[in-house]
A and B are shown apart, each in its own frame.
Chain A
Amino acid sequence: MGNFFDIRMSFLFDPLAVFFLSVIFLVSLPSAVYSIGYLAKKYSPRKIAYAWFLLTAFIISMALVVSVASALTFLIAWEIMSLVSYFLVVFDSKEEKSVQAGVIYLVMTHVGTAFIMAGFLIMHKYANSFDFISLKQASAIMPSSVKNIVFLFLLTGFGTKAGIVPFHIWLPYAHPQAPSHISSIMSGVMIKTGIYGIIRFVIFILGVDSMWWGSLILVLAGVSCLVGVIYALMEHDIKKLLAYHSIENIGIILLGVGSSMVFLKLNMPGLAIFSLIAGLYHLINHAVFKGLLFLCAGGVYSATGTRDIERLGGLIKKMPLTAFSFLIGAMAISALPPLNGFVSEWLTLQAFFVASLTACTAGLKIFFSLCAAILALTGGLAAACFVKAFGMVFLAMPRSKSPENASEVSLSMKTGMLFLVFFTIALGLGAGFVFRLLKVVAQSVASCDIGAVKLSLNDFMFLEGQASGVNLSTPLVALILGAVMIGIYLGFGRNKIRKYNTWDCGYYKLGSRNEYTATGFSKPFRIAFNFFLMPYTRTEKLRKSFYYIRSFKYETFTTPVFKKYMYYPLIGMIFTTAKFMRRLQSGSIHMYISYIFITILVLIIFMNKF
């Protein structure tokens, strides 16, 4: 057994840990500042003190997760993080929804932790220690079959936390239910600890052993992208919509990480490092812009009291700064140049392109092209979704009473948002600089020498070398766009302008009831993807008599495929088993003592045998 229970705190501050620490603090800091104004408006002083305690514990536990140097302390930090975030999800415990979301989250996260624990224990059997370095050394003597099992366990465990499909179901419940600054940290940072786990334990410690590891991750990532964005299109709760986009973006990050694993196995270190950079770049980008979007959504929620985008509208006039921040976030997440989301998606596409150019088999080449097509479709759908979200929340006229009396958020909330707006723009324009930093991180993870392969950069252009002279310069893109726009304004200005009503086909009054709705906006998508969404409608007629209908209600739903065909049968099975097992519970103490006796006997035999 040796040092099984030797819990010493030892830390490992390698570039990967430092990178994740900086991501954590980059999002946590503005969220904490934001929470000053956000909490003061809604909660009592006691509750606020409780919130600050939980927030601090949450940030510290996440920092521990990414910086400890032993698997056992990692597990302890991981568990603290999960529990604290559970208490944050049920922070508004008066709402029934919060409690329900909390239960789903608690169950899913512990199933995940169980898998991680199992994986660690198997690794410990070979290393006799939980220390990262000895685990890494021990992975050399692990047989392939064991490695495969450990990989699957770790992928399930960390995948649950990261929210990849099909382990994603807790995410759209838990994230929106927490207070907004917490949603921002959960979506921006906490789910990234799952990615950290995959990079640290699979790539760094275990080492990529088989080809199918990377391919499996790529497939899951592609599915996550599409499922996340399609569900997001159907969603009308602004925070749930953002939560679904987190699933999508985790998919994009994993497209980078997964292809890097494939290249490591193919022994193409240059490309492996390049795609790992793409994945890590999208990771920090998503942390920043998703944090920003959640903070803006929280601002809208606290100003109007509703999260349903069908009831919002016209907020750009009442909350100009929140609208501007949300617009920047929406542009970034839709991968529009010159902001940061564009840079990382472009890098991922370039990685796929070079892969389909140089990968060794034709099948792999086509596989990578298909990944690129999925990424392109995801990008297009995400843009559509954010046109919907921004348009419904901020543009045109208010659709109900609640947004009419909204006012701009308080100073501390503005500060938090603007901080992240700044980084969204900076990470886009400073792409060359960020790329160089990430190269250090990626190289230390993959621990391979890229030698002759040149991934060179300067501040304006990057990626010359493998992709033969392909340049991208976001500052120049911004410069030209800005110059042309200013040129248009200076050269032409605007002609005479008359303010008048919106075109109303000659009727005299257009109200907010004539506006296009979010449901209407997403209808083409609902029909195009009906094989997956399986939409159905429910109509309800209230009649006075057969001929006179007093009111008519029409609702449209989509079938939650994963819940219906995967989780409900699973839960049903668990209940059936539990009912069966209930027969053991006779209530007689003699029986229970004999159970304990049998258990001990079995354990003794097991210990002697193995």
Chain B
Amino acid sequence: MESLFIIIIAPMVSGIITKVKNNLRMRVGPGVFQPYYNLIKLFYKEEVVSDKTSWIFSIAPSIVLASVVLAALLVPIFTITPYAHHVGEFLLIIFILALGRFFLALAGLDAGSSFGGMGSSREMFISSLAEPAAILSIFAVSLNAGTTNLGAISSAHAVKFSSIAAGLSLLMVAIAETSRIPIDNQETHLELTMIHEAMVLEYSGRSLAFIELASHIKQMIFFSLIANILFPFAVLGGNIVFGIAAYILEILAISAVVGFIEVSVAKMRLFRVVDFLAFSFVISLAAIVISIMGA
């Protein structure tokens, strides 16, 4: 039920970020429902598939979508126990997302175009460097809760300083993983500056719709995790109405922050990404140290 909810509102969050960005730039911009229109349009379009590709290319979109759906089932949203809590826990989410990325990167290489290869290479580069920071920030919040069980983590009754640091680090990882400025740029249409978009350049029609939907859901998963780490208010309190309201407010706040970051900084050179992610790693390590000290 809840997982269905985040799957449904996921495209809207992307729409909201775009809206925030445009308003900050003094523009009107497309409405928040634009991502839905895009998805519907893509869904009924004819697909053009390269004749060089193999079954990897055609199977990848459904694996990507399946992996994010599974990850969405594992995230607690406004009740404490995630839907599929007996399947896995926090660490599994990272591994599950890696599964989708692995196939998408292979699909990027499948058509034999340089753009796809370049996108795959850079995507794997960024994600492999983001992984230690992600794991360490998970460790930090889990240390506070005494378990990597997400339900227990989200039901923390007090916000600890180390959780905030870990949430910050996770936000940086989320920016890298959801291909946002300063790591990547979703709006660019110059092949050489694209990372994620270059990787999926060969996709069109329904397959592209699946992949885009998966990216929206993945973004939503990261935002929900950060929301529940930074302010575990949503899952607190028995009142479901209060929980839903708090959750929506948190997501809106995070979207606004991400949108603000996107308009206020320039995209980094690819090799500066190492510094960005190293910084995120240091923050998460600091979070662990603070957490061990007991704050």
Contacts and interface: CB of A to CB of B under 8 A. Distances in A.
B146 interface: yes
Given A470-B147, A481-B67, A337 B99 contact: yes
A381 B56 contact: no
B114 interface: yes
A376 B134 contact: yes
Contact of B142 (A353, A517, A528): A353
Interface string B90-132: 0110111011011001100111111111101110110111111
Interface string A351-389: 001001100001001100110111111011101101110
B50 A384 contact: no
A389 to B, nearest CB: 11
A504 B66 contact: no
Contacts of B152: 468-469
A384 B109 contact: no
A283 B67 CA distance: 27
Contact of A502 (B50, B85, B136, B289): B50
A470 B114 contact: no
Interface in A331-350: 331, 334-337, 342, 346, 349-350
A564 interface: no
A411 interface: no
Nearest to A514: B114
B92 A396 contact: no
A499 interface: yes
B182 to A, nearest CB: 16
Interface residues of B, number: 87
A472 interface: yes
Contact of A374 (B85, B132, B146): B132
A364 to B, nearest CB: 10
A476 B43 CA distance: 29
B69 A484 contact: yes
B156 interface: no
A484 B65 contact: yes
A393 to B, nearest CB: 10
A451 B289 CA distance: 32
A468 B149 contact: yes
A500 B129 CA distance: 36
A387 B292 contact: no
Nearest to A392: B109
A488 B86 contact: no
A126 interface: no
Contact of A349 (B84, B86, B91, B202): B91
Contacts of B207: 494
Contacts of B65: 484, 488
B54 interface: yes
A2 to B, nearest CB: 53
B108 to A, nearest CB: 8
A557 interface: no
A46 interface: no
A41 interface: no
B240 interface: no
Contacts of B102: 331, 334, 336, 383, 386-387
Interface string A564-588: 0000000000000000000000000
A384 B123 CA distance: 9
Contacts of A510: 112-113
Given A357-B143, A502-B202, A523-B121, A387 B109 contact: yes
A461 interface: yes
Contacts of A505: 191
Contact of B73 (A365, A379, A480, A520): A480
Interface residues of A, number: 88
Contacts of B157: none
B113 A495 contact: no
A516 B109 contact: yes
A468 B139 contact: no
B153 to A, nearest CB: 11
B50 A494 contact: no
Nearest to A363: B292
Contacts of B231: none
Contact of A396 (B73, B88, B110, B205): B110
Given A366-B292, A384-B128, A471 B85 contact: yes
A276 B170 CA distance: 31
Interface string A464-492: 00011111110011001110110011001
B112 A477 contact: no
Contact of B135 (A313, A372, A394, A476): A372
B288 interface: yes
A497 B206 CA distance: 10
A525 B98 contact: no
Given A346-B92, A366-B288, A376-B131, A391 B120 contact: yes
Contacts of A499: 49-51
Given A373-B132, A524-B121, A524-B271, A476 B44 contact: no
B132 A336 contact: no
Interface in B38-78: 43-52, 54-56, 58, 62-63, 65-67, 69-70, 73
Interface in A388-408: 388, 390-392, 394-397
Contacts of B32: none
A110 interface: no
A379 B54 contact: no
Given A472-B89, A480-B87, A527-B271, A516 B149 contact: no
Contacts of B54: 316-317, 394-395
Give 8 nearest A-B pairs by CB, closest first: A516-B117, A380-B128, A396-B112, A391-B109, A384-B124, A380-B131, A484-B66, A376-B135
Given A376-B134, A528-B129, 9 more contacts: A337-B99, A391-B105, A480-B69, A481-B63, A484-B66, A485-B66, A488-B66, A495-B47, A497-B48
Interface of A: 313-314, 316-317, 327, 331, 334-337, 342, 346, 349-350, 353, 356-357, 362, 365-366, 369-370, 372-377, 379-381, 383-384, 386-388, 390-392, 394-397, 460-461, 467-473, 476-477, 480-482, 484-485, 488-489, 492, 494-505, 510, 512, 514-517, 520-525, 527-528
Interface of B: 43-52, 54-56, 58, 62-63, 65-67, 69-70, 73, 84-89, 91-92, 94-96, 98-99, 101-102, 105-106, 109-118, 120-122, 124-125, 127-132, 134-136, 139, 142-143, 146-149, 152, 191, 201-202, 205-207, 210, 270-271, 274, 281, 285, 288-289, 292-293
